[in-house]
Amino acid sequence: MKKYPYHSDTGSDAMPRKRGRKVARDAPAGPPPPHKRRKRLSAEEKRAMLSLVESGTPRAQICRSFDVVPSTVTRLVQRARRRAAGVMDSRPARPVGRPRLLDARGLRSLRRSVLAAPHDSLATYSRALASVIGASLSTPSVGRYLRRCGMRTYRVARKPLTSERNRRLRLAWANAHLGWSVADWRRVLFTDETTIELRSECHKVFVHAPRGRRLDARNTAKSVKFAQKAMYWGGFCYGGTTDLLHLNGNVNAAVCVQDRSA
C-alpha cells in the first residue's frame, strides 16, 4: 500500500487532502459582512484610556470598555510616550499619495518652456517634459504644476497693433508734454471714432443636441460674410464729453479736420 504525505497511516486509499483555509460547510450563502470601521476616539476617551493604562488595568478590559482593538491602545500609549519625550514633532511626516513626477529641476524646465513659448498648449508642454523626466504627464497635471510655478492661464488680451515707429512717436509726444499744467490740458479735446457691427457674432456659443444632430438648422448660428457696420465719433475734454455722432462712410484725418472746422 502506497503512503501519501500529510496523511495518517490508517490504511486508507484516499488521496491526500489539499492544504488551505478551512471553510465551514454550514456557512450561510451571501455577501460577506461589511467591514467595521475603526472607532474615532475623542480627546476625553483618549485621556481616560491612558489613565487606565497607567493604573495597571489590563488591556483586554480597556478594549472591551471602549470597543477598540488592542493595537489602538498600543498606538495611543506609544504616541503619548513619544510626546512626553519630546520627539513627536521631530518625526518626518509620512508622504501622502503618489510621489510627484516633477521635482525642482522639472519645475524649472517647465517654467522655461512656458516663458519661451507662452502661446503653446498644455499638450505641447507635456511632450517637452517627457524628454526630461522620462514619463508622460496629462494636461490637467501640467496645469497643476504650472500653478505651482506661479503661472496662470488667461484669455489672450487684444491690443492695437502698432509699429515701432508709432511707438517711438507716442513716447516722444508723452515726454514732450510732461510739464504741461492743468490750464494747458483744459484746452485739449481728445476725440476718437469706433466701428460697431450691427450683427455681432460670439464664437463661444454652446448648444446641446443629440449625437449626429450638430449641423441641424436649429442647432447652428447664422453668420454673414460682410456684416453691416455703423461708425460713431465722440470726444472728451476737461469740461466733459461731446455728443455721440453717427458718421456716414469712412473717416480719416482729412474728414476729422473738415468736421472740426465746420
pLDDT in tens, 227-249: 778 888 899 999 999 999 888 77
Mean pLDDT of 165-182: 94
Is the pLDDT score of 257 beyond 70?
Answer: no
Give the list of residues 6+ apart from residue 147 with CB closer than 8 angstroms, or none.
Answer: none
Half-sphere exposure of 87 (CA within 13 A, CB side): 5
| C-alpha to C-alpha distances, 53 to 57, 70, 84, 155, nearest whole angstrom | 6, 12, 15, 63
pLDDT, tens digit, for every residue of 190-213?
A: 988 888 877 666 556 677 677 888
Q: Dig out the grid coordinates for 170 from the structure.
A: 507716442
| C-alpha to C-alpha distances, 151 to 76, 128, 200, nearest whole angstrom | 44, 17, 33
Q: Give the predicted TM-score (pTM) of the model.
A: 0.41
Predicted local confidence at residue 4, as pLDDT: 46
Is the pLDDT score of 260 beyond 60?
Answer: no
Q: What gap in Å lies between CA 36 and CA 34, rounded to an integer?
A: 6
pLDDT band at residue 215 using 50, 70 and 90 as cut-offs:
confident
**Structural contact between residues 107 and 145, judged by C-beta atoms closer than 8 angstroms:** yes
Predicted local confidence at residue 10, as pLDDT: 47
DSSP state of 208: -
